[in-house]
């Protein structure tokens, strides 16, 4: 809707699947290849290290957990569930009622054209 056209398939695949996998792998690798923090010769205590790891895991854990939950609760084959989980819900769209009405009545291209200055003078 923002671009006025569909995103290229490669970009959609990257944003939906490849990038989340790479980010999750980077998190896991950073936890396994952990180097204790230090400041010069001072080495931080164990509780500080554990607190840092807990904070990193707690902030990122909801993403894969919700993905697993959505796929597990879905119906159909595993690929159908993954495709369904990667699409926005039917409630997604503009928050303001007047914009939502316009959005639901038009295709994304028509919606964008209606928002351009002088759009009332153009034929579309």
Positions in the chain short of pLDDT 50:
121-124
* Best CA proximity match to 85, nearest among 98, 96, 72: 72
Q: Residue 12, CB half-sphere, CA atoms under 13 Å: how many?
A: 9
Q: Look at residue 91 in the predicted model and tell me its pLDDT.
A: 77
* Best CA proximity match to 7, nearest among 77, 108, 102: 108
Under 8 Å CB-to-CB from 17, ≥6 apart: which residues? 86
Q: Look at residue 101 in the predicted model and tell me its pLDDT.
A: 80
Predicted structure pTM score: 0.46
Per-residue b or e along 58-71, where b marks 16 or more CB atoms closer than 10 Å to that residue's CB:
eeeeeeeeeeeeee
Q: Look at residue 124 in the predicted model and tell me its pLDDT.
A: 46
- Measured in residues, the chain has a length of 124
């Amino acid at each position: 809707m923002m671009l006025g056209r569909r995103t290229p398939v490669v970009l959609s695949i990257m944003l939906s699947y490849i990038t989340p996998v790479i980010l999750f792998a980077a998190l896991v690798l950073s936890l396994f290849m952990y180097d204790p923090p230090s400041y010069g010769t001072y080495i931080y205590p164990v509780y500080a290290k554990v607190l840092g790891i807990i904070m990193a895991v707690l902030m990122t854990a909801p993403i894969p957990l919700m993905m697993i939950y959505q796929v597990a609760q879905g119906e159909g084959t595993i690929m159908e569930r993954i495709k369904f989980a990667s699409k926005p819900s039917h409630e997604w769209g503009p928050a303001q009622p007047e914009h939502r009405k316009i959005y639901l009545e038009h295709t994304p291209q028509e919606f964008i054209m209606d928002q351009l200055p002088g759009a009332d003078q153009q034929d579309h």
